[in-house]
Amino acid sequence: MKRLIFLLLATTLQAADPVTLKLWADGAPGKMLPHSKFTEDFIRTRAGKSTVTDISDPTMVVYRPEKPNGTSVIVAPGGAYIFLSAIHEGTQVCEWLNTLGVTGILLNYRTPTRDEAAPHEKPVQDAARAIALVREHAGEWSLDPNRVGLLGFSAGGNLLARIACDRGTKTDLPNFGVMIYGGGFLDSKDPAKFKEGFSVPADAPPMFLACAHDDGQNPVAATLLYLEYKKQNLPAELHLFTKGGHGFGMRDNKQPINAWPRRCAEWMGAMGWLPKAE
């Protein structure tokens, strides 16, 4: 029966409309904490019409291009692990990926988790589950299980760093990562080094990093991560733009950073992840 359900979903995926799948059929592991005052205030003052929160049953939404080239990218929006910026860091990114022939998959990971001791833990579980599901159904969705990427903005970039580098247990890894203004893995007392326990393993996936110079400590985080990749001779590309700030996503705010999608597409092409669709 389960196989039949997914076959029916695969048939539906041939249509232009995106399809939503639950990540955990029997419910996500662990319990969500109630909102703290900080979280309540953050949602009240920072959340907008394009943000979503209180996600306890995470999903992934599959956006298929007209002519899939076999590559897929799971998109993790930012939002401080409190909400998800679901449009300019989510649906619009998937639509852009579709123009490249890439299947975009929006990850609606659990949030808010900012009040937990390890805010990234549940989102990382959700990302790993999404990667596993994409590979499990790659044949049905005309995807290559060895061309599954993970693209993260801000907190989603932190999620990417955690799953790609800071791994306590074996997990499903993306074949490549795209980190846009990610951070949160620097030592708070000495931002010129990683947090204690954070390191780049020898099997870290290839990484594209983009950030604006005027985005706090995030350009430092991107640079340190790139240097560690370089030290280990791991594939990586870094772009630091003069201006752009934080949280722009796919918005065109007339700043140099708005060139990141073009640079990212060039990198994906050079790495062999944008073959022509048959």
Mean pLDDT to the nearest integer, 169-189: 91
Task: Look at residue 105 and tell me if it is in a domain.
Answer: yes
Provide the domain limits for residue 169.
2-270
CATH code (residue 21): 3.40.50.1820
Two tokens, residue 151: 């693209």
Distance, in Å, from the CA atom of 54 to the CA atom of 60, rounded to the nearest integer, reads 15
User: Band of the pLDDT at 170, cuts 50, 70, 90?
Assistant: low
Task: Look at residue 87 and tell me if it is in a domain.
Answer: yes
Q: Are 96 and 261 in contact (CB under 8 A)?
A: yes
Task: Look at residue 231 and tell me if it is in a domain.
Answer: yes
Q: What is the pLDDT of residue 277?
A: 59
Q: Does 180 have pLDDT greater than 80?
A: yes
Environment class of 4 (CB within 10 Å of its CB; exposed 0-12, middle 13-18, buried 19+): exposed
Task: Look at residue 275 and tell me if it is in a domain.
Answer: no
Task: Look at residue 276 and tell me if it is in a domain.
Answer: no
Helix (H) or strand (E) holding 21: strand 19-22
Strands (DSSP E) found in 125-220: 148-153, 176-180, 207-212
Beta strands at 103-108 and 207-212: parallel, antiparallel or unpaired: unpaired
Positive or negative: CA dihedral 11, 97, 165, 27: negative
Q: Which single residue is written with the structure tokens 């929160």?
A: 53
Q: What is the pLDDT of residue 2?
A: 44
User: Band of the pLDDT at 3, cuts 50, 70, 90?
Assistant: very low
Mean pLDDT to the nearest integer, 109-131: 96
Task: Look at residue 235 and tell me if it is in a domain.
Answer: yes
Q: What is the pLDDT of residue 169?
A: 61
User: Band of the pLDDT at 172, cuts 50, 70, 90?
Assistant: confident
pLDDT tens column, 192-237: 999 998 999 999 999 999 999 999 999 999 999 999 999 999 999 9
Task: Look at residue 60 and tell me if it is in a domain.
Answer: yes
Cα–Cα distance list, 177 to 30, 44, 158, 237, 264 (Å): 26, 32, 11, 11, 11
Q: Does 238 have pLDDT greater than 60?
A: yes
Two tokens, residue 209: 């990093």
- Full DSSP string of 168-191: SS--PPPSEEEEES----B-SS-T
Q: Indicate the number of domains in the chain.
A: 1
Q: Does 84 have pLDDT greater than 60?
A: yes
If we measure between CA atoms, which residue out of 28, 11, 30 comes closest to residue 126? 28
Task: Look at residue 277 and tell me if it is in a domain.
Answer: no
Q: Does 15 have pLDDT greater than 80?
A: no
257: which DSSP letter?
G
Q: What is the pLDDT of residue 94?
A: 98
Distance, in Å, from the CA atom of 163 to the CA atom of 169, rounded to the nearest integer, reads 10
Beta strands at 148-153 and 84-85: parallel, antiparallel or unpaired: unpaired
pLDDT tens column, 37-75: 999 999 999 998 889 999 999 999 999 999 999 999 999
On whether the pTM is more than 0.85, the answer is: yes
Q: Does 11 have pLDDT greater than 70?
A: no
Residue type, 170: K
Beta strands at 51-52 and 72-76: parallel, antiparallel or unpaired: unpaired
If we measure between CA atoms, which residue out of 63, 65, 101, 107 comes closest to residue 89? 107
Q: Does 17 have pLDDT greater than 80?
A: yes
